[in-house]
Structure 1
Amino acid sequence: MNTAELHVVLGGTGAAGSALVRELARQGKLVRAVSRSQKGDLPTGAEWKRADVMNAEALREAVRGASVVYLAAQPAYHRWPQEFPALIENVLTALPSPETKLVMVDNLYMYGPVTGSIHEGLPHAATDRKGRVRAEMTERLLSAHRSGLARVAIGRASDFYGPGVEASVADLNFFRKIASGRTVQWPARLNQPHSLSFVEDYARGLAILGERDEALGRAWHVPAAEPLTGRQFIELVAGEAGVTARPGMVPKALIRMVGFFNPSAREFGEMFYQFENAHVLDGSNFTRTFNFAPSAHREAVRVTLAWLRNHDARTAVLTG
């Protein structure tokens, strides 16, 4: 194990964070997962520390001694505009030194609706609140890099799926429904290509950004496998689960109605454009620079189904 460098993952028990903790530990890194509560088992080589990232003093203690800090923590979905800017400032202030690397977990919201593939050279043209917040975060982080406050890299992904992923369009409940032969809902349109990021691939990409100095000072799109339509992805999962695919569709009007009572649904409604037309991530810059190849969807789906079966079996034993 490499004991000279400490890698700290803020939000280390969430979907992206826990996948990153596993990947760093697999590489033999010394890893600290930071969150307000511990969920599940940690891999060998990883420790857990309780801290609230909105508490500046606790955060400074949590990242003490870190060579690389990965920011995978985030506020509640409907609280981004109110809380994300303060979170970013807390993290920048808490870093042990200006030489500390800071790798940001990011998405594609800042671009807004895009015609054609989504690449890093596009303007940050989002008009929705969450997209504007993401754009402002990018500028603040890269400004901190330019001023020498930190050494920053940003890794962007599309919608996640895979082990531990919850609250995503293709989350674990989506896989559970398909595997049990039930109808599963896809937003807006079933025939539009949509990039889906396998969370374990994304974790590999983030680890590269924390390792390679040439990654610093810019945002990168971590590659995903080829885009599939909602119908194609549902049929792929159903085929691997050995059941008949039962694709359904969620209309925007329903999301709007639910949004009157559910803040998260209301916020998701703002992002519905991502499913009404093609939403295709271009990760070619990352591929060329770091010789990176994402997992094929079929293999990633098999890994996810196997993880889900094991997880649900263990949960049944513990609760039964």
Structure 2
Amino acid sequence: MSTVALFGAAGVIGQSIASALSSKGRPYRVVGRTETSLRKAFGADPLAEIVTWNPDSPASVLAAAKGIETLIYMVGVNYWQFELHPELMRKTIDGAVAAGVKNIILIGTVYPYGMTEANPVREDHPREPHTFKGRMRKAQEDLLMQAHRDGRVNATVLRLPDFYGPGVEASLLHRAAQAAVNGGTADMVGPIDRPHEFVFVPDVGPVVARLVDTPAAFGKIWNLAGAGVTTQRELVSEMERQTGKKLKLRVAGKMTLRLIGLFNPFMREMVEMNYLMTDPLIMDDSALQQLIGPIRKTSYVEGIRQTIVAASNTRALAVAA
């Protein structure tokens, strides 16, 4: 019987966590809005229990969480609908508590920190978000951690930086990887020469799987840092080195994002978060490593190699089709 449920499982982080649980022979439940996407991602794994839900329906939340001990929350919303994050979190907490869930792990983001006072950023850095998205993510965290303080559930948050990896279309590096394989011009969000960090998606799952079995993790918030400080430019250069091709880049700064945003709601919403490109936020995860031990982090060289291989395989399949 599944005792761990991945809510919002169909995304790349959910698939990474599922892979880590499956490698341990541990049954798990995947919960999402669409059965088709869940079956596409997890249908081949006999350890996966597939459940659909409607996060706006209390009865549906309760049913999806029934019999579960630990709920891992990754529920996404459209980038222009971040006001939904706190409300969906509230409904999920209420349903999970009613269902008898003991633990909730929220996969979070750096947005609640706001502008950094100094780098690297530890978990005790002030949370003073100056953006709407940051405030909504902070409210989401606050609801969960208040439920912990009230004794309703054991709760923790794992904050991630930007991520990349095979098949990760939401990555800042995705268009560059496509261009490295397919040719053409890579659209990127700049500036691309400022310090930045990325976490390789397949590295996330094993960390979360360890948190599930670490009682001391609950009641606190943790950072998971990337594989070191780099820049988007350096990673593009690595793609060029590995493929032997010079990439053509088209870099959009804040002003360009505003112009594109007149016609594209996603790009419009990226404007307020552009500070993360201009004012680096680099995380310190030494506390997490003290909690669960050394964390395997794939080097950028190897991560780029695997990302390019995946993009090449996707292209080959498309050509064959």
Taking structure 1 as the reference length, what is the TM-score of the superposition? 0.91
Matches within 5 A, 1:54-203: 54-81=56-83, 83-95=84-96, 100-114=102-116, 115-171=118-174, 173-203=175-205
Kept in 2, the 8 Å contact 1:161–1:170? The answer is: yes
- Return the letter of the residue paired with 1:8: A
Q: Is the CA contact (8 Å cut-off) linking 1:25 and 1:44 kept in structure 2?
A: no
Quick check: 1:51–1:59 contact (8 Å CA) kept in 2? yes
Question: Distance in 2 between the 1:18 and 1:236 partners?
Answer: 26
Aligned to 1:10: 7
How far apart, CA to CA, are the structure 1 residues paired with 2:238 and 2:119?
25
Q: What amino acid does structure 1 have at the position aligned with 2:85?
A: F
Query: Does the Cα contact within 8 Å between 2:119 and 2:283 map onto a contact in 1?
Result: no
Tell me the SS of whatever aligns to 2:49: strand
> Following TM superposition, by how much is the alpha carbon of 1:238 offset from its aligned partner in structure 2, in angstroms?
2.7
Note the residue ranges of structure 1 that are not aligned, 5 or more in a row. Answer: none
1:258-301, Cα deviation, whole Å (9 max, x unpaired): 22222211111100011113231222211222122311111222
1:30 counterpart residue number = 27
Q: Aligned partner of 2:16: which letter? A: A
Asked whether the 8 Å contact 2:225–2:282 carries over to 1, the reply is no
d(CA) in 2 for partners of 1:174 and 1:185?
7
Identity rate, percent: 24
Taking the aligned partners of 1:134 and 1:312, their CA distance within structure 2 comes to 36
Distance 1:261 1:202, change over 3 A: same
After TM superposition, the score normalised by the length of structure 2 is 0.91
Q: Tell me which amino acid in the other structure corresponds to 1:294.
A: K
Of residues 148-157 and 50-59 in structure 1, the stretch that sits farther from structure 2 once superposed is: 50-59
CA spacing shift, 1:235–1:247, aligned 2, 3 Å:
farther
Distance in 1 between residues matched to 2:317 and 2:272, nearest whole Å = 37
Per the TM alignment, residue 128 of structure 1 is displaced from its structure 2 partner at its CA by 0.7
Q: Quick one: distance in 2 between partners of 1:150 and 1:230?
A: 40
The amino acid of 2:82's aligned partner reads W
Q: Which moved more, 1:114-123 or 1:34-43?
A: 34-43
- What CA distance in whole angstroms lies between the structure 1 residues aligned with 2:281 and 2:319? 37
2:297 corresponds to 1:300:
no
Instruction: Give, in angstroms, the shift of residue 135 of structure 1.
Output: 1.2
Q: Measure how far apart 1:118 and its partner are.
A: 2.1
- Paired position in structure 2 for 1:286: 288
Instruction: For residues 121-160 of structure 1, give each alpha carbon's deviation from its aligned partner in whole angstroms, at most 9, with x where no partner exists.
Output: 1111111100011111111111101111111111111111
In structure 2, what is the Cα distance between the partners aligned to 1:61 and 1:98? Answer: 11
> CA separation in 2, counterparts of 1:180 and 1:311?
10
1:77 Cα offset (Å): 1.2
Whole-angstrom distance in 1 between the partners of 2:62 and 2:128: 34
Could you tell me how far apart the structure 2 residues matched to 1:146 and 1:196 are? 32
Matched length: 313
The CA deviation at 1:109 is 0.4
- Flag the 1:249–1:300 CA change in 2: closer, same or farther, 3 A: same
